[in-house]
Chains A and B, each alone.
Chain A
Amino acid sequence: MSATTLTPTAAAQPRLRLGLWLETLAAWTLALAWAAPLLYALWAAIHPTGYATRFELFAPLTLDNFTAAWNAAPFPRYMLNSVLLVTFVTGCQFVLGTLAAFVFARSSSRWAGVLFAIVLVQLMIMPDMLIVENYRTMRALGLVDTVVGIGLPYVASAFGIFLLRQTFKQVPKELEDAARIEGCGTFGILWKVYVPLARPTYLAYGLTSVSYHWNNFLWPLVITNTVETRPLTVGLAVFASTDQGIDWAIISAATLLTSAPLLLAFLLFQRQFVQSFMRAGIR
């Protein structure tokens, strides 16, 4: 309520101040609770194992847990798989989404409307829930235990098509006409007029998509069975559930390694991140 320029009477002032003070306390307590798991992981990961459950301010620091975790499981390979997966999915989503959104944004025919409604069904029924049948399809296609198999169900995304269509609809018709007079064809117009104007949408959608697929778990768990294809999330689950016992320090280090790329990106570009998620959310 930044805009409340209230001028309360003198009697109400202390009560108001107490209220604000209580609110600040509540806000910070909640923030602490929300940050606690990550703060704990940091603590456990940079101290020797014995300090995972003992909190002493001057406990010795170490990076051994990270090297131990990195060497205890094929994390470099998992990392590579995750990068490949995210690149494949987001890249394809951009291309397919752009082409489809372009048609939906420009066409006024009834058929386009019907098709668009069919596309939107995916906002409600996501591939996440159709794992049984999609597994059957992947087996028929021979794509079980491949990175393509993990990504393919998500490559055509209703959310992406929807988002890009909204953006494309706002492109002024005059720009398109001008480009046509300059001699641009359909693809030229798309590439030179629409795509550059939609850059913020691509960023927003790209960030949401990358974080979704970097973090996705159930479908990759189902469709992969070997080190060569498992993404980081599945690798981490396998690692934490097997022989590790409960060495919290190493598990914390592995957990941080898994989240690090996204987390660093978020902390560095947090304004863009938040604005992107905001933009992607406004419909």
Chain B
Amino acid sequence: MRGRATLHAWLMLGPAMLLLVAFTHYPVVATLWHSLFSTPRGARPARFVGVENYAALADDPVFWQALSNNLLYALGTVPLSIGLALAMALWVNGRIAGRAALRVAYFTPTVLPMIAVANLWLFFYTPDYGLVDRITGFLFGWGPTNWIGSQETALGAMMAIAVWKEAGFFMIFYLAALQAIPPVLYEAASVEGASRFTVFRRVTLPLLGPTTLFIAVNALINGFRLVDHIIVMTHGGPDNATALLLTYIYEVGFRFWDTAQASALTMVLLLILALVALAQFTLLGRRTHYR
């Protein structure tokens, strides 16, 4: 009887585990393995080259630029989208007129495909007659700016799109957390005569701590994953100003077909994610969230 239950359990777990290992765990190991070999070309099979691919990466200025771009992209979008998400959640949860409409407006980018969004933003960023130039021209009297065509502004323009896409999604988590705060706490604070700001700082904010950490981890992962718009809008250009790790992996792996080099690049990305996971683990402890 007991043996049959175990058999059942394995049969039920089997398909999911098999596919999970085949497309998540195996590729990680295989990436490491293939990053130690040369790319097979034509009649020449792959041969063991040790850390040669990594040495080539270290000598590759584009890799270093993609890495620093990506860190900037992640560190820039994470606090911005968290801050905006919190503001949105407070507004939507508060007393402001037309809250339902606000919620729809904030959340809509979440359900739009990044590719569709990229087309629209491409128009917004068009020099001279695009909406961004019109607004900056009207407000500050700035001349035409080639937002995605010049090296100084291209990465910032891409970050703006990422923040726009994510903030409404993260708002949802804050909204859930805000609604879970017992009203008794606010009543107590109002009896004490606390100001709105004090209530926010001393009651609301501390209770949102775990949610903020959870959102931060997700935003950080997205900082390395959310690259669709870059691939269609700038192809990592101009002159690699918007190249990120994943866009560079795509370019090296599927445009130059240098799979060995792309594997080494992927290992760098995986290493960063492992560090994020480690940081999350130490910060959150074992107890919260995933139990």
Task: Please give the residue numbers on chain A whose beta carbons come within 8 Å of chain B beta carbons, in ascending order.
Answer: 1-7, 16, 19-20, 23-24, 26-28, 30-38, 40-41, 44, 52-53, 96-97, 99-100, 102-104, 107, 112, 115, 118-137, 152-156, 158, 161-162, 186, 211, 214-215, 217-218, 221-222, 232-234, 236-237, 240-241, 248, 251-252, 254-256, 258-259, 262-263, 266-267, 270, 273-274, 277-278, 281-283
Partner of B266 from A99, A130, A267 at Cβ < 8 Å: A130
Partner of A100 from B16, B113, B232, B290 at Cβ < 8 Å: B16
When the two chains form their complex, are residues B30 and A136 in contact, meaning their CB atoms are under 8 A apart?
A: yes
Partner of A34 from B105, B200, B254, B266 at Cβ < 8 Å: B105
When the two chains form their complex, are residues B96 and A236 in contact, meaning their CB atoms are under 8 A apart?
A: no
> In chain B, what residue has the closest Cβ to A221?
B231
Closest-CB distance, B89 to chain A (whole angstroms): 11
Per DSSP, are chain B's interface residues mostly helix, strand or loop, or mixed? Answer: helix
| Interface residues in B149-173 (C-beta closer than 8 Å to A) | 164, 167-169, 172-173
27 sample A-B contacts, Cβ–Cβ < 8 Å, listed by A number = A3-B186, A4-B189, A27-B102, A31-B106, A34-B105, A34-B106, A37-B109, A38-B120, A40-B123, A52-B123, A96-B19, A97-B16, A115-B13, A124-B274, A125-B28, A128-B225, A128-B246, A130-B27, A132-B259, A134-B23, A137-B27, A222-B254, A254-B119, A259-B113, A263-B112, A278-B176, A283-B289
Partner of B246 from A96, A129, A161, A273 at Cβ < 8 Å: A129
> In chain B, what residue has the closest Cβ to A40?
B120
- Beyond A115-B13, A137-B26, A222-B250, 7 additional contacts (C-beta under 8 Å) are A7-B190, A38-B120, A132-B31, A256-B116, A267-B104, A270-B107, A273-B107
Could you say which residues of chain A place their CB within 8 Å of the CB of B224? 129
Q: A36-B131, A103-B9, A156-B20 are in contact. Are A6 and B190 (CB under 8 A)?
A: yes
> In chain A, what residue has the closest Cβ to B224?
A129
When the two chains form their complex, are residues A236 and B12 in contact, meaning their CB atoms are under 8 A apart?
A: no
| Interface residues in B175-208 (C-beta closer than 8 Å to A) | 175-176, 183, 186-187, 189-190, 196, 199-200, 204
Closest-CB distance, B258 to chain A (whole angstroms): 10
Per DSSP, are chain A's interface residues mostly helix, strand or loop, or mixed? Answer: helix
When the two chains form their complex, are residues A152 and B187 in contact, meaning their CB atoms are under 8 A apart?
A: no
CA distance A6 to B191 in the complex (A): 8
CA distance A106 to B154 in the complex (A): 51
Closest-CB distance, B223 to chain A (whole angstroms): 12
Closest-CB distance, A3 to chain B (whole angstroms): 4
When the two chains form their complex, are residues A115 and B266 in contact, meaning their CB atoms are under 8 A apart?
A: no
When the two chains form their complex, are residues B115 and A137 in contact, meaning their CB atoms are under 8 A apart?
A: no
- Asked if B55 lies at the interface with its beta carbon under 8 angstroms from chain A, I say no
When the two chains form their complex, are residues B15 and A119 in contact, meaning their CB atoms are under 8 A apart?
A: no
Closest-CB distance, A245 to chain B (whole angstroms): 13
When the two chains form their complex, are residues B273 and A124 in contact, meaning their CB atoms are under 8 A apart?
A: yes
Could you say which residues of chain A place their CB within 8 Å of the CB of B263? 132-133
Could you say which residues of chain B place their CB within 8 Å of the CB of A127? 23-24, 27
When the two chains form their complex, are residues B249 and A131 in contact, meaning their CB atoms are under 8 A apart?
A: yes
Partner of A38 from B19, B90, B108, B249 at Cβ < 8 Å: B108
Closest-CB distance, B214 to chain A (whole angstroms): 7
When the two chains form their complex, are residues B27 and A1 in contact, meaning their CB atoms are under 8 A apart?
A: no
> In chain A, what residue has the closest Cβ to B123?
A248
Could you say which residues of chain A place their CB within 8 Å of the CB of B17? 100, 115, 118-119, 156
Could you say which residues of chain A place their CB within 8 Å of the CB of B164? 33-34, 37
Q: A3-B187, A130-B28 are in contact. Are A259 and B196 (CB under 8 A)?
A: no
